Chains A and B, each alone.
Chain A
Amino acid sequence: MKRALALAALLVLAITIGLSAGAAVFPVGDWFDALRGDPGPAATILWRVRLPRVVTGALTGGMLAVSGVVFQALLRNPLAEPYLLGVSSGAALGAVCALALGLSATAYFALPLAALAGALVAIAVVFEVARVQGRLDTRVLLLAGVVVSAFFSACVLLILTFVRADTLRSAFFWTLGSLSGASWGMIVAMSVYTVPALVVLFGLSRHLNALSLGEETAAYLGTETESVKRVAFLLASLLAAAAVSVAGVIGFIGLVVPHAVRLAGVRDHRALTPVSFVAGACALVLADAAARTVAAPMEIPIGVVTAFLGVPMFLILLRRAVRS
C-alpha cells in the first residue's frame, strides 16, 4: 500500500514536471487558469501540446517497460528488452517501409501493424541465429540482437535517403525517438489495442512466474507453456511496435525500469508488471522533460537521454551475467 502511494506520488510528480518543462515558461497562475478552461496561450500549449505529449510519453514508457518485463521472463534473461533484441528497429523498418509505400502517418492502426510485422521479422531472425540445440544462448542472442538492430537501422536510413515523402519523419525519430508528434487522436487509437494487450499480459503474470523456473517446470505446474509463450511474445512485440510507431526507437527503458523495480524488491510478476508500467511511464516522461530542457530551446533526441542512463546499467548487468 505504501509502495502504491509512493508510486502514485512519483507519477504525479513526473507529470507535473513533464507539463511545466519546455521552451515556453508561464507563471503558475496561468496554468491554473488554463486548467479551468480559460483560453489563452498557456491553455493552447497545455491542451494541444504538452498534455498529449506527456500522456503519449507515459503510455510509451509503460509499454516499453512491460515489453521488457515480458521478454525478460520468457527468455529468463535480465538483459532482454525490445531495443537490444532488435525488435524496436525491426518495428521501425516495418513502419518506414509502409510509409515509403504511401501509407499515411495518421494511419493510426495500419502503421503499428506494419511495425509489428517488422518486429516479428526481427525476432524470428535473432532467435534463429541464437538457437543452439533448442536453447537460446544469452550472449549470441544479445549479439544477434545488436547486429540485426544495426542492419535494420541502416535499412531505415537507406530508405529515408531515397524517399522524400512528407509523411516520413526524420532519421532522428527512427533511430533515437521523439515525442514531438504526439496528438490526442494518436493516444486514443493506441489505447484501443494496447490496453487490451496490457490486460492480457497482466493476466499471464502467474504463468510468467512459473516460466521463470524453467519451461519444463512451468509445464509440470500447470502452464500451457507453448501457447502462453506464443501469446506473450506476440503481445510484447505489439507493445514495442506500438511504442515505435508513435515515438520512434527509444532504447533501454525496457531494461532499466524493470531492473530498478526488481531492485526495490518486487519480483512477483503480478506486481512487477503493473509497477514497471507506472515506473516506465514516469521514466519516459522525465526523460522527455530532460530532453526538452537540457539544451532549451533546442530539443535533444529522447533516445540520447535514455542511452546515457541505460548504457552504464547495461554494462554493469552484462558484467554480472557473464561472470555468473
Chain B
Amino acid sequence: MICGLEGVSFRYRGRSANALTDVDLTVAEGTHVALVGPNGAGKSTVLRLLTGVLTPDAGKATVLGRDAGDWKRRDMARKVAVVSQGGEAQVPISVRELVSMGRHPYLGAWSALSREDHATVDACLESVDLIALSACDVRELSGGELQRARLARALVQEPRILLLDEPTAHLDLGHEARFMELVRQYTVTQSVTVVAVTHHLNVSARFADRMVLLAEGTVLKQGPPDVVLTPDLLEAAFHWPVTVVDLGAMGRHAIAGVRDSAGGVP
C-alpha cells in the first residue's frame, strides 16, 4: 500500500453530518484508482485527507507509511502532487512560470531554477504538448490547455502519487481521453500511483485499475471496474436507474436510464 485510509471519519466544522464515516481505502503502488459516486459523497474529502490538509476525526490517513498529517508540506510536495478542480486564482503569469512552480518544493528561498530544473519543466511541457504555448498568459488558455498546464505543474514535482480532483470536468471527449491517456502513461512507464476523483464512470472504467464507489460518506464497493459497475450498486449510489453494457475489450459502460413521469422505469 502506498497510501490509504484506515477507518477514517471526518466532519467539516459547522456541519451536522459526517463527510466520511469509517472509510477504508487501500491504494497499491503503480495503480490507477478512481473515486466515483454522487455529489457530496466525500470523494474530494478523501483526497484532502490523503494530502494532509485535512486531519481525520477518527482513523488514520497514511502516505508512504507515514501519517499524512506528520509530513512537512515540502516533503509531501516531493512525493504527492495534486491537480485540483480549479478555483485557483487566475494570476497573470505565463504557462512556463505556472509549470515552474512545481519545482517549489525543491528550491531554497533564494535559489533560482537550475539547468536541471529547467530541463524537467521543458520535459513536462513537452509531454502535455504545451511547449508552443509556454510564453502564453495562463488567463488566455482554454479549459483543456489550462488543465494540461496544471497537470504539467504536478508532473514537474516528480511525484510518486498523483491526486486528481475532477481533472477533466470541463473537457470534451477527445481532450478528456488524451488527458487520461497521458496520466496512464506515467502510471505504466514510471509507476506513478494515481487517485482520481471523477464523475465520468465510463472513462474511469477504461483507465482505472480499481474503482471505489462512495455514497453518503461510506464506501459502497471497491474493486476492479467490472465489480463496481453493476446496475444495482450504481442505482443504490445515484438513486437513478442505470443500465450497464459490457463492451468486451472496450470495458464496461454505464448508461443512465430514463424514468417516466410516475417515477418508474419504462
A216: Cβ under 8 A from any B Cβ? yes
Which chain B positions have C-beta within 8 A of A222? 73-74, 76-78, 104-105
Which chain B positions have C-beta within 8 A of A268? 97
B72 and A224: CB pair below 8 A?
Answer: yes
A213 and B81: CB pair below 8 A?
Answer: no
B88 and A217: CB pair below 8 A?
Answer: yes
A76: Cβ under 8 A from any B Cβ? yes
List residues of B (150-184) whose CB comes within 8 Å of A's CBs.
157
A213 to B149, CA, bound (A): 13
A267 to B87, CA, bound (A): 20
Provide the A211-236 mask, 1 if CB < 8 A to any CB of B, else 0.
01110110111111100000000000
A213 and B51: CB pair below 8 A?
Answer: no
A220 to B53, CA, bound (A): 9
A213 to B91, CA, bound (A): 7
Chain B residue with the shortest CB-CB distance to A228: B73
B223: Cβ under 8 A from any A Cβ? no
Provide the B105-125 mask, 1 if CB < 8 A to any CB of A, else 0.
101011000000000000000
Chain A residue with the shortest CB-CB distance to B53: A219
Question: Which of B78, B93, B109, B157 is close to A203, meaning CB atoms less than 8 Å apart?
Answer: B109
Question: Which of A203, A206, A214, A225 is close to B104, meaning CB atoms less than 8 Å apart?
Answer: A206
A94 to B53, CA, bound (A): 36
B230: Cβ under 8 A from any A Cβ? no
B81 and A220: CB pair below 8 A?
Answer: yes
B213: Cβ under 8 A from any A Cβ? no
| Interface range for A | 20 to 34
User: Known contacts being A213-B88, A214-B87, A267-B92, is A221 close to B109, with CB within 8 Å?
Assistant: no
A60: Cβ under 8 A from any B Cβ? no
A115 to B51, CA, bound (A): 39
User: Known contacts being A214-B87, A214-B88, is A221 close to B53, with CB within 8 Å?
Assistant: no
A203 and B88: CB pair below 8 A?
Answer: no
A221 to B101, CA, bound (A): 7
A209 to B89, CA, bound (A): 12
Which chain B positions have C-beta within 8 A of A213? 88-89, 91, 98, 101
B109 and A209: CB pair below 8 A?
Answer: no
B197: Cβ under 8 A from any A Cβ? no
B23: Cβ under 8 A from any A Cβ? no
User: Known contacts being A203-B109, A267-B93, is A219 close to B73, with CB within 8 Å?
Assistant: yes
Question: Which of B72, B84, B92, B110 is close to A217, meaning CB atoms less than 8 Å apart?
Answer: B84
A205: Cβ under 8 A from any B Cβ? yes
Q: B-side interface residues toward A, CB under 8 Å?
A: 51, 53, 72-74, 76-78, 80-82, 84, 87-89, 91-93, 97-98, 101-102, 104-105, 107, 109-110, 157
**What are 22 sample pairs from A and B whose C-beta atoms fall under 8 A apart?**
A203-B110, A204-B109, A205-B109, A206-B109, A209-B101, A209-B104, A210-B101, A210-B104, A212-B91, A213-B101, A214-B89, A217-B84, A217-B88, A219-B53, A220-B77, A220-B82, A220-B84, A221-B101, A222-B78, A224-B73, A224-B74, A225-B73
Seed contacts A205-B109, A220-B77, A222-B105; 8 additional CB < 8 Å A-B pairs: A76-B89, A212-B91, A213-B91, A217-B84, A221-B104, A221-B105, A222-B74, A223-B104
Shortest 5 CB-CB contacts between residues of A and residues of B = A222-B77, A222-B105, A222-B74, A220-B82, A203-B109
